[in-house]
Amino acid sequence: MNVEQVVVDARGVQLPGELAVPAAAAGLVIFAHGSDSSRHSPRNKYVAHVLNRARFATLLFDLLTPTEAQDRRNVFDIPALADRLRATHEWAGRRLDLSVGYFGASTGAAAALWSAGSGSDVHAVVSRGGRVDLAATHLADVTAPTLLIVGELDFDVLRHNRDAQQQLHCPNYLEVVPNATHLFTEPDTLERVADLARNWFQAHLHG
């Protein structure tokens, strides 16, 4: 597997990232991290490792520059984050000829769904503990098969995801992980997230 430290040119904004491409990759999964996180998120890196073993290429990158991240308004500016994700998707498309899926966490999941509902050529979406309520205006326009993963004990986010599922018209499924809170730090819960994501992308992301 080829692992490369890259700099994503997102319409003139330089964003560091890590691109991992296994031999005969089955597709590319672009990660959108949540608030107070980055490309170094240990949870996203674990999921990426599981996807790499299943022959998916992965791109973890910083949605914001360090200066941008200091302003909390940027962290919750979902339209801007979705545009940054689309720009990264375009950058990746110039490097790899692979079908693309999104894996979004927390606010990053909102950006992923906003982008998917805005015409991005994305083939599958997985949301982990997603603040999907922040993408409510674009949920009905999502066409990519979408998996919503929420912890059983993440009560507010679970309620938001149940509401969001009623607004999605694409193939979708809500998976509630028993005994898990928002960050899936409980034993075996993150492993469950990774297995669910891998299975979803294997079913819906090809080429």
Query: Residue 4 in contact with residue 96, Cβ under 8 Å?
Result: no
Q: Which structural domain, as residue segments, surrounds residue 58? A: 2-204
CATH of the domain at 118: 3.40.50.1820
Q: Is the dihedral of CA 80, 117, 109, 124 positive or negative?
A: negative
Residue 34 has pLDDT above 90, yes or no: no
**Res. 80: pLDDT tops 80:** yes
What pLDDT score does 75 carry? Answer: 87
- CA distance linking residue 17 with residue 201, whole number of Å: 21
Residue 207: is its pLDDT beyond 60?
A: no
69 confidence band (pLDDT: 50, 70, 90): confident
H helices of the chain, in order, are: 42-53, 66-69, 72-75, 78-93, 107-116, 155-167, 189-204
If one counts every other C-beta atom within 10 angstroms of the C-beta of residue 24, the result is 6
Can you give the pTM of this predicted structure? 0.96
Across 77-103, average pLDDT: 96
Alpha-carbon torsion, ordered 170, 101, 63, 179, to 10 deg: 70
pLDDT (tens digit, 9 = 90+) per residue, 161-173?
999 999 999 999 9
Confidence of residue 121 (pLDDT cuts 50, 70, 90): very high
| 13-21 and 124-128 beta bridge pairing | unpaired
Given a cut of 80, is residue 206 above it in pLDDT? no
Model confidence at 12: pLDDT above 70: yes
For CA atoms 109, 110, 115, 121, give the dihedral sign: positive
Q: Please give the mean pLDDT across all residues of the chain.
A: 95
Query: What pLDDT was estimated at residue 141?
Result: 97
The total domain count for the chain is 1
Task: Say what the pLDDT of residue 54 is.
Answer: 97
Nearest-5° Cα angle at 190, 38 to 195: 110
CB 128 within 8 A of CB 29: no
Q: Tell me the residue type at 59.
A: L
pLDDT classification of 72: cutoffs 50, 70, 90:
confident
Give the pLDDT confidence of 38-68 residue by residue, as tens digits.
Answer: 898 999 999 999 999 999 999 999 999 999 9
> Is the pLDDT score of 176 beyond 80?
yes
Q: What would the pLDDT profile of 122-155 be if each residue is shown by its tens digit?
A: 999 999 999 999 999 999 999 999 999 999 999 9
